[in-house]
């Protein structure tokens, strides 16, 4: 017996409520963090609200298109994304040591943000085709699937890494990693790939100590500074360890309940750069303390838990792959941003999803949420659940 629900009834209000909570936290944190600038603090809040409103329109637009239609867009959007990355490579705007933007006259766009979604669409479609029509279950078949995933994922990864944009490149890598796990290939292959990664890191460490000129080909000076600042933040508190030390001081001074809204020393002084964007978690930790940080983390946990449940209950493999890709996109960004702020990971400049000030990243993440809401709205529930089989 099938439980038929209208699309409106199947709208995931829990997910929408959690996004609303994140929006409120974002606006409060941005208002406080922008107090260090000479402009009215409401300036950034109003602009962020506009981005949220545009994102809401995008979510509504995405929800009303059956996600099965996205299969038809896979090739053109992936090709379009690669074209934009190539335009950035040869004609992009160079600023602050990076070439990541395309100047459109009235505004600038950062194609690497769009490429995150385009890659999820492409990999989800690829996995849907190879798993639903797979006949070769040998290890050779697994390697073919792995090769196809890497063939789609490696080109944008290296083009984005070359800009250079290590943070976004790592997000691309996390999406690829999640999709490899979702592909169902043998654990022996996954373990072998993990050993290769560890071996690669070991070789880089050896090159750093024995052949620095070769090491510098793979790791540029500014990237090395971030790694050294992470490994030894007290070694140069006025240089490579400057941002991390100030972030740790701010979070540490917040203690349990924080110093209070608009009362943080680091947050309100012009000392910690990019505190309303990359380091907004430091502002939350200082002014709202451990309690405020835990409210944010619990909200994220509930958001990701709900996404996982949507992926598990979806009876369409393509929908499950789409949701899995979005989970890989968002979870890594949350982990990396918070981890770099508290010294667990090197600083990469990734925004905190739905919290940091900024339009491109926020719109990309809201587009991703629109895809998840779309999948959930079109998941048909039955009394005796029948999930789509890979043996079809």
Q: What is the pLDDT of residues 240-276, one digit of tens each?
A: 778 888 888 888 888 888 888 888 887 777 777 778 8
CA distance 86 to 131: 31
CA nearest to 119, candidates 361, 374, 320, 368: 368
**Cβ neighbour number for residue 33 with a 10 Å cutoff:** 30
- Binning the chain into helix, strand and coil, the percentages to the nearest 5 are 70, 5, 30
Side-chain-facing half-sphere of 192: CA atoms under 13 Å: 8
> What phi and psi values does residue 336 have, to the nearest 5 degrees?
-65, -45
Take residue 137 and report the two structure tokens written for it.
């279950």
Nearest to residue 175, comparing CAs of 190, 192, 154? 154
- Other Cβ atoms less than 10 A from the Cβ of 60: the count is 11
- What was the pLDDT predicted at 136? 67
**CB distance 207 to 214 below 8 Å:** yes
Q: Which tens digits make up the pLDDT trace of 36-86?
A: 666 677 888 999 999 999 999 999 999 888 888 898 889 999 999 999 999
Residue 388 contacts residue 7 (beta carbons within 8 Å): no
User: Are the CB atoms for 145 and 183 separated by under 8 Å?
Assistant: yes
**Quick check: 3 pLDDT over 60?**
no
Q: What b/e readout covers 121-151, taking b as 16+ CB neighbours within 10 angstroms?
A: bbbbbbbbebbeebeeeeeeebeebbebbee
pLDDT digits (tens, 9 = 90+) for 142-170: 888 899 999 999 999 999 988 888 889 99
pLDDT of residue 322: 94
């Amino acid at each position: 017996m099938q439980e038929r629900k209208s699309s409106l009834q199947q709208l995931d209000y829990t997910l929408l409520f959690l996004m609303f909570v994140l929006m409120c936290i974002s606006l409060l944190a941005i208002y406080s963090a922008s107090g260090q600038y000479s402009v009215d603090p409401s300036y950034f809040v109003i602009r962020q609200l506009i981005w949220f409103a545009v994102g809401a329109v995008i979510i509504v637009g995405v929800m009303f298109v059956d996600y099965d239609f996205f299969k038809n867009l896979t090739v053109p959007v992936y090709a379009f994304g690669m074209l934009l990355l190539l335009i950035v490579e040869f004609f992009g705007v160079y600023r602050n040591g990076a070439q990541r933007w395309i100047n459109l006259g009235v505004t600038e766009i950062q194609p690497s943000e769009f490429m995150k979604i385009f890659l999820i669409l492409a990999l989800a479609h690829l996995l849907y085709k190879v798993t639903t029509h797979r006949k070769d279950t040998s290890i050779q078949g697994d390697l073919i699937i792995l090769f196809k995933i890497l063939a789609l994922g490696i080109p944008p990864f290296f083009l984005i890494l070359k800009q250079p944009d290590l943070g976004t490149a790592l997000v691309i890598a996390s999406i690829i990693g999640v999709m490899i796990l979702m592909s169902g290939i043998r654990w022996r292959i996954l373990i072998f790939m993990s050993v290769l990664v560890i071996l690669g890191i070991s070789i880089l460490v050896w090159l750093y100590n024995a052949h620095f000129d070769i090491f510098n080909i793979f790791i540029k000076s500014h990237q090395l500074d971030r790694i050294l600042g992470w490994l030894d933040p007290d070694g140069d508190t006025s240089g490579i360890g400057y941002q991390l030390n100030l972030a740790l001081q701010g979070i540490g001074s917040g203690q349990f309940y924080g110093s209070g809204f608009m009362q943080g020393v680091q947050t309100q002084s012009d000392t910690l750069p990019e505190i309303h964007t990359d380091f907004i978690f430091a502002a939350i930790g200082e002014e709202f303390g451990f309690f405020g940080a835990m409210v944010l983390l619990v909200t994220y946990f509930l958001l990701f838990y709900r996404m996982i449940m949507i992926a598990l209950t979806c009876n369409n493999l393509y929908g499950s792959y789409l949701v899995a890709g979005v989970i890989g996109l968002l979870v890594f960004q949350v982990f990396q941003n918070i981890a770099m702020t508290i010294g667990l990971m090197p600083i990469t400049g990734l925004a905190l999803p739905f919290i940091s000030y900024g339009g491109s990243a926020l719109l990309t993440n809201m587009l991703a949420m629109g895809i998840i809401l779309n999948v959930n709205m079109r998941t048909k529930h039955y009394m005796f659940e029948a999930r789509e089989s890979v043996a079809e």
